[in-house]
Amino acid sequence: MAIYLLVAAVAGSIGVALRTAYARGRRLEYQLAEREEHERQAIVAERRWIAGELHDSIAHQLTIISLHTQLLDDDEMRDASQEAIRTAARKALSDLRFIIKLAEDAPAGTEVSAGDLKAAIDEAREEFRGAGHSVVLEGDLHDEGIPRGAEIVLARVVRESATNIIKYAGPGDVRFVLDVQPEAITMTISSPLATGSTPRVASSSGTGLNRMAGRVLGVSGEFSAGPVGNEWQVRTYLPLGSLPNSHETRVAGIGA
């Protein structure tokens, strides 16, 4: 009898050990699969971040180059267009080096500084002048009620809007209206609709509008873009309670 009990105890112990080992193996398989999925998602996120930064930075400069290339046959515009092309090419190379350095030195999601709103509008003003537009600005770009997080999002919207205006707008004024209130900031960018059906440069895929909307919606804001009367209007509404106030913001995390 004692032998049977001993055999039963040993068999039971072996069974428990086998079940424990099996369960441990299943847990390990699950953990490995979960880790692989996290790594895959990180790679996809990093690729999307790089693609987005390339679009925001490089596509804008290429639009400037494309526009002014068409003006090189104009004797009055040739010198100014050549300088605009050189400037845009230098900026594109500088932005490309910066993005490559970020991709090499830091993972996607690293917090990096972005341009400020006044600089973005000043740059757009110069580009619009080269394209034959004048700029009307309503609002105070130095308003202390504009937090850093809002400034970064608005600067991105200005830059992408400038790309689209240079591509598609008709002749006339481009108008920026900035309304800063205690609870929210509203920025409206209006440009004349083109009278013809052919844009100045090749049509885009709509990526820019999607990224603008993603950045704004990512901080619980509201975004709209479309024709209003004889203008194309881009409206951004940012509730201040949902925005970061730090001096840096996660570029990859807003609309990436």
Q: What is the pLDDT of residues 28-40, one digit of tens each?
A: 777 777 777 766 7
Q: What is the pLDDT of residues 169-196, one digit of tens each?
A: 889 999 999 999 989 999 999 999 987 6
Structure tokens at 46: 């990093």
Band (pLDDT 50/70/90 cuts) for residue 107 is: very low
Q: What is the pTM of this model?
A: 0.59
Segments of 62-132 assigned E as strands: none
DSSP 3-state assignment of 84? helix
Please state, in angstroms and rounded to a whole number, the distance separating the CA atoms of residues 212 and 124.
16
Q: Which helix (DSSP H) or strand (DSSP E) does residue 190 occupy?
A: strand 184-192
Dihedral, 229, 235, 237, 238 alpha carbons, nearest 10? -170
**Integer-rounded Cα radius of gyration of the chain:** 27
Residue with tokens 């920026």: 176
pLDDT at res. 254: 37
Q: How far apart, in Å, are the Cα atoms of 250 and each of 182, 190, 254?
A: 24, 28, 7
Residues 191-202 have a mean pLDDT of 66
All structural domains of the chain, each given as residue ranges with its CATH number in brackets, are 34-253 (3.30.565.10)
Residues 101-126 have a mean pLDDT of 66
Q: What is the pLDDT of residues 39-90, one digit of tens each?
A: 677 666 666 666 666 766 677 778 788 878 888 888 887 888 888 888 878 7
